[in-house]
Amino acid sequence: MALGFGAVYKALDASTGQEVAIKKIRLRGKRCEELAVNEILAMRDNRNSNIVTYLDSYLVDGELWLAMELMDGGTLSDVLRAVYLEEGQIGAVCRECLQGLQFLHSRQVIHRDVKSGNVLVGMDGSVKLADFGLCAQLSPERSKRSSRVGTPSWMAPEVVRGEAYGPKVDIWSLGIMGLEMAEGEAPYQREARLRVFELIERNGPPKLQNPRQHSALLRLFLKCCLQADEDGRWSAQELLEHPFVTSGHPASSLAALIISAKQAQEEWRGDACS
């Protein structure tokens, strides 16, 4: 599968007999090298139960092979293409992601590319943040960033405008991911990059297309994430105490959903080959 700026393969660690994931990154130029180093350092230095575990890295014929724990359920994006999530399940995914983000933000790290394609799931229902190539480490000397990086539909308005920003850009992206889980795709996902920027600037915070189909709690949670003003946007710590999140299902309950998504994907592949 593709993840960020590399393709990911399943492999076997001969020394332990354990299945692992290998992300192969072709090092084409200085920018690719910077992203690769960024990803290794971020994963190595920020170990947490809601962040994919870094195992090792190798240089092989001009490629960097990044060995990580295998998340056998694939990406959340894969799951969303196959099955529909109930609100309790959306709450569970948000809680697990927020736990990872709260940990990163407490260590002054911004992920900068939170979206369903960068959230990995396990067949046991585990949910973990992945793909740290675009992350940024803040410091007392550099407490904000201003680079326009990320994936357009999930970018916070301050990123689109090229303004200085902090960790709460990840909260906006999580809110967009909440819309994505509720409706099947992110706002403006089918639009061209520059058109997305124009729509984010012109339309303000996106909303659910059919709000009455969703609970007041979900609507309120999304509103807390999708505040155009960064100061009004809730932090990861605050959102972990939001009733929509605290009433979410336990992560283990996602296992059945992820298994169903896997079965649906295998049936599609079978149909395509028949």
Question: 2: pLDDT confidence band, cut at 50, 70 and 90?
Answer: very low
CATH for 74-257? 1.10.510.10
Domain limits, the chain: 2-69, 74-257
Q: pTM to 2 decimals?
A: 0.93
Q: In angstroms, how far is CA 123 from the centroid of its own chain?
A: 18
Residues above pLDDT 70, as percent of the chain: 96
Q: How far apart are CA 55 and CA 74, in angstroms?
A: 18
Contact 148, 136 (CB under 8 A): no
Q: Which residues are catalytic?
A: 113
Question: 5: pLDDT confidence band, cut at 50, 70 and 90?
Answer: low
For position 46, what pLDDT does the model report? 94
Q: Which class does domain 2-69 fall in?
A: alpha beta
- For 255-271, what is each residue's pLDDT tens digit? 999 999 999 988 877 76
Classify the C-alpha dihedral 241-120-149-56 as positive or negative.
Answer: positive
- For 179-191, what is each residue's pLDDT tens digit? 999 999 999 999 9
Would you tell me how many other CB atoms lie within 10 Å of the CB of residue 14? 7
Q: In this predicted model, which residue has the larger pLDDT, 153 or 26? A: 153
Residues above pLDDT 90, as percent of the chain: 78
For position 274, what pLDDT does the model report? 54
